[in-house]
Structures are given as structure tokens and as C-alpha cells.
Amino acid sequence: MAMAVGPASDDDVISTINTTPLVDVMLVLLIIFLITIPVVTTSIPVTLPKERVEVRETKPENIIISVDTSGGIFWYDQKMPNTDALVAKLKTVSKMTPQPEVQIRGDLSSRYEGVGKILLACQRAGITKVAFITEPPPLGG
């Protein structure tokens, strides 16, 4: 509140705005919003998904390409001499209808370069379905 000191007449107009009530109202609204927002966002009952590993079926038409620790690329159990031979084999497979899925098995300690070569070969051959085969983590871990 403003306080006038000295002679004052009824005709003088106070030209200042008292902002104290405005600040009080804004603080009260802020506190109300801070209290109600967490209640609103967590009050909806939702069943969250559980983590589980789904077993993937291996179909006979799927192609499994493996990368060992030294970066060698294997078509099932047959070692590929280079990536051009891999691209040539993948081009014959890409013309099949329906196109089979290429599943990549990369050794944990292998470099990414081997997996990158397989992905590039799949791209050059026109393969549209590529998947990575991993092992599930141990239970409770």
C-alpha cells in the first residue's frame, strides 16, 4: 500500500499501481500448479509393459550371416572370400519372392567394420529386411 505524507486533497489522483496483490495472486497460482501437476500426470492407471525376450522363430528361408572376432564373414558356415562375393549371393536372394530376411550374428568382441560391410552389401544388393541376432541378458540383470 502506498502512504501519502503531507497535505493531501481529495482531488489528487494517485498514479502508481499497487502490485503487491498481483504478486500475491501469482504466487498462489504458482503453488497451486506445482502441487496439482504431478497428481494429474500420475493419476491415470496404466499397465506398463514388462521386459521380456521374445523367442524369434528361424524360418528356413532366412539367411544367417556371421562375423567372427577377426572380422571374417560367414554365409551360414561357409566363409566368404570378400564382400563382392557376398553381394553377388545377396543379389540372387533379393530377387526371391517373398524376399527372405538377412539375420546378422556379430561376435561381441568383433569390430563394427565387419557388421558394417554386411550392411553395405545388403544395401547394394537391395535387401530390405535386416535383423540382428543377440543373446538375452541374464535373469535378474
Q: What is the pLDDT of residues 58-116, one digit of tens each?
A: 666 788 888 888 888 989 888 999 999 999 999 999 998 888 999 888 888 888 888 89
Contacts 24+ apart (CB under 8 A), 55-63: 56/131, 56/133, 58/103, 59/100, 59/101, 61/96, 61/100, 61/101, 62/100, 62/101, 62/102, 62/103, 63/90, 63/93, 63/100, 63/101, 63/102, 63/103
Task: Tell me the sheet residues that pair with 131.
Answer: 103
Q: How far apart are the first and last CA of the chain?
A: 64
Please state, in angstroms and rounded to a whole number, the distance separating the CA atoms of residues 116 and 67.
10
Please state, in angstroms and rounded to a whole number, the distance separating the CA atoms of residues 62 and 50.
28
Q: How confident is the model at residue 8 (pLDDT cuts 50, 70, 90)?
A: low
Q: How confident is the model at residue 54 (pLDDT cuts 50, 70, 90)?
A: low
> Are 111 and 71 a contacting pair, CB within 8 Å?
yes
11-24 average pLDDT score = 81
Report whether pLDDT(48) > 60. no
Span 63-132 CATH architecture: 2-Layer Sandwich (3.30)
- The more confidently predicted of residues 89 and 16 is 89
- Quote the mean pLDDT of the chain: 79
Neighbours of 6 (CB within 10 A): 4
- The more confidently predicted of residues 9 and 131 is 131
Q: How confident is the model at residue 55 (pLDDT cuts 50, 70, 90)?
A: low
pTM: 0.56
DSSP-derived secondary structure letter, 97: S
- The more confidently predicted of residues 59 and 17 is 17
